[in-house]
Structure 1
Amino acid sequence: MEIVVEEGDVMAEHDIVILGSGSLARSVCYSLALVSPNESVVTVVSRTASSSAEVCYIADVRATLAGTAVKFRPLSLGRYSADSISSILRQTRPKLVLNCASYQSPWEKIYSPSAWTTLMSRAGFGITLPLQAAVAIEASTAVAGLDSPPLFVNACFPDAVNPLLKALGLPVFCGVGNVALLAASLRESLRPDGAGRLQVLGHHWHLHTPPTDADDALAWLDGMPIHGVGSLLRRQRATARSELNIVNGLVTALLLAGIVSGREMWTSLPGPLGLPGGYPVRVHGDVIELNLPEGISQSQALFLNSQWAERDGVYVEEDGKVTFSKQGFLQVRSELPDFASTVPATDIPGICSRLLEVRSRLRLMQAASGGNSK
C-alpha cells in the first residue's frame, strides 16, 4: 500500500477530505476556495501525486486572492482501497469525506471514443453502476471502520449508488449533483424574491429531457407547485454536461461549507440517507431529513423515484436486489454471456472487475483497428 504525503501538517484535523482529482473534484475545490466562511483545511486525495498537487495549488491561489482562510493539502495513494483510504482518514481526522472518484469517466465517449463507449451508450447509463460504486464502497467501508466516523458524501451516481451502500449496511449521508443541479437551475430561472423555499423531487434521469412533460421532475416554491418545469430547465439541458460541473462544483461547495460550519440549510439532494433518487431536505450539521411538500408522502416520493430509476436503467431495492434494464442487460450479455439482469448488491464489486476486463479488451480492439467508434 502506497500513501504519499505531499505536504506537512497532515496530523492536524482536516475538515474535508475529497477523493478524486477529476473535473468535479476540481470544481468543488476551486469553489470552496471562494465560499468557505471559516478557517478550514481541505485534503485532496488522488492516485496521481501531481494531480492532487495541481488542484491544491490552484485552489490555494484562489483562496489567497479571495481572502478566505481555507487551505488545501495534497495526498496520493496507490489505489482506492478501504485500507489505504482508512489510513489517510486516520491521519487527517476529517469531519466530512466527499467521494468524487469512480472507474468510469462520463467524458470518455467525447475524448476517447471506442467500442467500449459505444457499448455503454447502447446499454444506457444505469449499466455503469458497478463502475460508479466500486470506490464509494471502499471509501464507505473505510469510514465505517473508524472510531469517530466522518460524514460520507458520494458524488458518483448517488441516485443508485447510495441505496446500494445502504443495502450493504454502509454509511452514507447524502449525494451531490443531479437533483441539486436541477434545483440550482430552477432557482436561476425563477429568481424568487428573498430566499424563497424551493423543493425539488427528481432523479439523475431528469438531467435529460424526458419523453413528456408529465414525466418531468416536480418542484414547489414556497409550498406552491411550479408548472412548466421542463421549460425552466431548457437552458441547463442545452448546456454541455462538462460545463455543468462548474455549477455542480459551486452547489457542492456551498453544501460542504454549510455542513462543516453547522449552518441550517433547506435544499434538494440525491440519495439522502441512502434513499433512491433526489428529494428536498433539511440539513443541519450532521442531521439530514426529508422536507417533502404538503400532500406528498415519503412513500409517494419513493415510488416516483423508483419509476424514474427504472427509466435510468437500474434500480436498487431495499433488500439489496439490483435490477438492470432489459436494454442494458442484453447489450452487456453480448460481451459477458453469463451477465444477469438481477443481482444481489454483494455481487457489484465482482461485476465491476469483470466490466473493467471487458473495457480493457474493447479499448485495445479499437486501438488495434485504428478507427473510431461511430
Structure 2
Amino acid sequence: MNPCDLLLAGTGSLAEAALFSFATTGVGRPLRISIGGRNAERCRWLALAANARAAALSVPNFVEPAILDWSSPEALEGAMRQLQPKVVVQTASMQSPWALAESSAWSQLIRDGGYGLATPFHTILTARLVRAIERAGTGSVVINGAYPDLANSIIKAMGLTVPLGFGNVDIVATSAAAMLGSREPGKVRMLAQWEPHVADFREPPEKRRNINPKAWIDGEEVADFMARFRDLKFPPASDDSLNQITGTTVVPMAHAFLTGQTYVGHAAGPFGLPGGYPVRIDNGEVSLNLPDGISREDAIAFNKGFEQMEGIVLDEAARRVTLTGHAHEAMASRKFDLAEGYPVASLEDLEIACTRLDAIRGELIGKPAS
C-alpha cells in the first residue's frame, strides 16, 4: 500500500458515492486516493471504476485499493503507517442502515426503539480507526460519516481525538439550497440531525412529524421550514440512493483540509457536539458559523434536546449512554439488559457494549418480525 492524500475507509454505498465524487473532482493538482476495506475484490473494483470515471473526464486523480483489518488494532495501525493519509473519510459501520429494511425481529427492534439503538455498531469502527491513527502518529484528519450526530460525542467522552462529521444536517441543507436554485455556500444554514429531520423527509408529507429544524436563508430565520419545503422528499429507508447526496457533501469539506481552501457549509458532531451545525474551515481550522441572534450555547441546547426524543442520551460527565422512552421500552419489553444503558468511558467499554448488542442481533436476526 502506497502513501495517499485521502483514504476512504469502507466499501459500502456511501463510500462508493463519496469515492466517485472525489475521483472526478479536480483540485488543481493530482490527488492520491485509497479505498480501503476488508474485501479485497470489492476494493479493487471500486478503484478501477473510480479511475475509469476520472479518465473519462480527464481528471488527474488516481485511486488505489487498500486492505483494512478492523478486527486487529495492530493491523489497522500498520495500515495507517503505510498509507500516511492526510484525510480519512470514514464510512464503515457494523450495521448497515439499509439492511434494516429487511423483515426480521432485529429490524423490528430497531424500528420500535429507533435508529440510535445501534449506536455501538455505528461508533466502534470509527473509534478503532481514531485510536489507530493516534498510535500511528500520522496526524490524519478524520471525517466521520457513521452516525456522527452522536458517535462523535461518544468518541469525545472516551478521551480520543474527536473527528469531524459529514452528512445528515448537510443532506437537508444542500437539498433545500437546490430547491431554491442556489449554488451559494452558506445561503442555507441549519441546526438539524438525522432524527427527526432527515428521517422525516423520507416520509410522505402527510405522515411527517413536522418538527422544524432551526434554519436560516440569507441570514433570516425560517420558522416554518417543514411547511416551506413540504415538497422535499427523500427515498425510503430501503433505498440507499440518498447516499448520492451524502457522499458528495464530504468532498468540499475534505478538500479544505487537503488544499487549505475555505469551506462554508455544515458538519455533524463538530468538536463532539450533538447534532449538526453550520461551520467554516479556514486554513484547516474548524469554527461554528452560526447566524446572528443565536449563541453557541443555545445551538447546542437545541440539538441536545433531540437526544431525549430519540431515546439515546449521553451523560458526558458520567460518560454513560442511557436509554429512555421508546428506546428503553423496546429493549426492556424484550428482557434485554442493555435497556439500562452502558458506559462509554473507554474504547474497551464500547467493545463490551458491541458484544452485548451483537448477541441480541444474533438472537433476533433469524426470527421473523412480529
Calculate the TM-score normalised by the size of structure 1: 0.89
Letter in 1 for 2:250: T
How far is the alpha carbon of 1:193 from its aligned partner?
Answer: 7.5
8 Å Cα contact 2:85/2:140 also seen in 1:
yes
**Residue 218 of structure 1 aligns with which residue?**
214
Relative distance call for 1:335 and 1:348 in structure 2 (3 A) is farther
Kept after mapping to 1: 8 A contact 2:212/2:223: no
For 2:32, what is the secondary structure of its paired residue? strand
Q: Is the 8 A contact 1:32 1:257 kept in 2?
A: no
Match of 1:278 among 276, 279, 283: 276
The reply on whether 1:240 has 2:239 as its aligned counterpart is no
Find 2:365's aligned residue among 352, 363, 366.
363
Alpha-carbon offset, residue 194 of structure 1: 5.0
Q: Which residue of 2 aligns with 1:71?
A: 62
Q: Distance in 1 between matches of 2:185 and 2:269?
A: 24
- Counting only pairs closer than 5 Å after superposition, residues 168-317 of structure 1 correspond to structure 2 as 168-192=158-182, 194-195=184-185, 197-205=187-195, 206-209=197-200, 213=210, 215-241=211-237, 242-317=240-315
Question: Contact 1:220/1:226 (CA < 8 Å) preserved in 2?
Answer: yes
CA apart distance, 1:207: 0.8
Give the Å deviation of 1:126: 1.2
Structure 1 equivalent of residue 342 of structure 2? 343
Give the whole-Å Cα distance in 1 for the aligned partners of 2:64 and 2:128.
22
Match of 1:56 in 2: 47
**Counterpart in the other structure of 2:204:** none
CA distances 1:277-309 after superposition (whole Å, capped 9, x unpaired):
001111124311111111111110111111112
The answer to whether residue 108 in structure 2 is matched with residue 118 in structure 1 is: yes
Q: Quote the Cα distance in structure 2 between the aligned partners of 1:351 and 1:257.
A: 35
- Cα deviations across residues 164-220 of structure 1 (Å, max 9, x unaligned)? 01111111231111001111111112224755533111111111339655x311111
Displacement after TM superposition at 1:317 (Å):
3.3
What is the DSSP-based 3-state SS (H/G/I as helix, E as strand, rest coil) of the residue aligned with 1:170? Answer: coil
Change (3 A) 1:62 1:329: same
Q: Which moved more, 1:225-234 or 1:166-175?
A: 225-234
Letter in 2 for 1:67: S
Deviation at 1:39, TM superposition (A): 0.8
- Worse-superposed segment, 99-108 or 218-227: 218-227
Q: Is the 8 A contact 2:252 2:263 kept in 1?
A: no
After superposition, the C-alpha distances for 1:113-144 in whole angstroms (9 at most, x for unaligned) are 21111111111111111111110110111122
Q: How big is the shift at 1:257?
A: 2.4
Q: How many residues align?
A: 356
Structure 1: gaps (5+ residues): 1-9, 367-371
1:156 aligns with 2:158: no
Partner of 1:4: none
Contact 1:17 1:43 in 2 (8 A): yes
**Cα gap change, 1:257/1:36 in structure 2, threshold over 3 Å: closer, same or farther?**
farther
Q: Secondary structure, in 3 states, of the residue corresponding to 2:274?
A: coil
> Any idea what the Cα deviations from partners look like across 1:239-261, whole Å, max 9, x if unmatched?
23512111111112232223312
Partner of 1:102: 93
Match for 1:47: what amino acid? R
- Percent identical: 27
Work out the CA distance in 2 between the residues paired with 1:56 and 1:165.
30
Whether contact under 8 Å (1:94, 1:150) holds in the other structure is yes
Aligned pair in 2 of structure 1 residues 195, 18: CA closer, same or farther (>3 Å)?
Answer: closer
> Could you report, residue by residue, the CA deviation over 1:10-46 in whole angstroms, capped at 9, with x for unpaired residues?
33x3111111100000000011112132311111111
Secondary structure at the counterpart of residue 35 of structure 1: coil
Report the counterpart of residue 47 of structure 1 in structure 2: 38
The aligned amino acid for 2:227 is S
Seen in structure 2, the aligned counterparts of structure 1 residues 91 and 338 have a Cα distance that, compared at 3 Å, is: same
Of 268-277 and 309-318, more deviation after overlay is shown by 309-318
Distance across 2 between alignment mates of 1:145 and 1:183: 36
| Matched letter for residue 153 of structure 2 | P
Flag the 1:193–1:136 CA change in 2: closer, same or farther, 3 A.
Answer: closer
Change (3 A) 1:193 1:100: closer
